[in-house]
Copies of this chain bind each other. A is one copy, B any other.
Amino acid sequence: MAGNSFGTALRFTTWGESHGPAIGVVVDGTPPGLALDEALIQRDLDRRRPGQSRYTTQRREADAVRILSGVFDGRTTGTPIALEIENTDQRSRDYGEIARTFRPGHADYTYWAKYGIRDYRGGGRASARETASRVAAGAIARLILTQAGIRVRGAMIAMGDREIDRARWDWAAVDANDFFCPDAEAAAAWGPALDQIRKAGSSIGAIVEVVADGVPAGLGEPIYDKLDGDLARAMMTINAVKGVEIGDGFAAARLPGEVNADEMRRGADGRPVFLSNHAGGILGGISSGQDVVVRLAVKPTSSLLIPRRTLDIDGNETEIVTRGRHDPCVGIRAVPVAEAMMALVLADHWLRHRAMGPDVFR
């Protein structure tokens, strides 16, 4: 049953397989009149693009996006925006083994169980290549958010058990290293560590944090379309993500109530200020006006050079080694994807709130 769309007011639908002719996304619900061209989308796509350092897959894709509809004379028209990215590096190869064997930790077995057929080339639809479509759609969401004064930024804050020192957090550092890491010192140490992991044919997990500032109070539609509920779903649908938390998240479970509840005072400008942000900017599913903070756990990729025990499609026991191109730490490239998903959720709710806010009849 149909499941390839996300969002309500701003709704996008992705399509495409890793080794098909192209992938793409249709973004429906963009307000009219916004200046949009391919360059704006390309900027975001280039941050996610593979092959930019030795820590990401060596697949070579230009990831050049084409806008096929919804823009006229450089402005959005309110009609659906179709974006398309050609697959250029579907390396010709023998899929014999992967075609018949389930890679442990991958979706090979479950797609087979669900559909009775699967496009095994490069993971087919389950490939992280699909996330390029999210990033492209996310660029449009960001365009909307910019108008609304909202900014979304992400960073990788842990690789395996190596964590950053939050005291050294510097947004400027994020784009200056290969890890989208806000702690330049930590990033410097992660390089050699990941080299070792890569050479061992292993992989490692990561934690990513995404922060939105400028979010007005009032976004989110209780009870089931809460802002945090939608963020949790959005993040959990990203390949390899196994956990999502808002604000203090799991750490909040260890706190007493008087520490966890963020107190309020009157700011210099007369507007409410909070004295802390344990809640991550969301109370009762509605944004509070503070920064919205989301963290996600990314598992280590299961594409490994270390042999693993598994079954083939006939049920025979066998072993598999995943040769070919992959990321030793998929958490790195999850950063722009997570940013895109947060932007898409926030833009959707920003538009949704317009239909509901207290100013409807003012």
Contact = CB atoms under 8 A, between A and B. Distances in A.
Nearest to A217: B113
How big is chain A's contact interface, by range?
A: 35 or more
Given A104-B263, A265-B309, A255 B299 contact: yes
B250 A105 contact: no
A50 B224 CA distance: 23
A17 interface: yes
A263 B17 CA distance: 25
A253 B358 CA distance: 42
A129 to B, nearest CB: 11
A250 B245 CA distance: 9
A164 interface: no
How many copies of the polypeptide does the oligomer hold?
4
Contact of A78 (B117, B130, B233, B272): B117
A357 B284 contact: no
A144 B216 CA distance: 25
Interface in A140-173: 147-148, 158, 160-161
A32 B358 CA distance: 6
Contact of A113 (B8, B218, B250): B218
B104 A262 contact: yes
A8 B8 CA distance: 9
B235 A242 contact: no
Contacts of A33: 115-117, 358, 360-361
Interface in A333-352: 351-352
Interface in A301-327: 301-304, 306, 308-311, 315-317
B80 A15 contact: yes
Given A244-B232, A265-B317, A317-B265, A77 B283 contact: no
The 8 closest A-B pairs by CB, nearest first: A107-B284, A116-B358, A105-B261, A3-B221, A3-B225, A243-B245, A203-B257, A110-B286
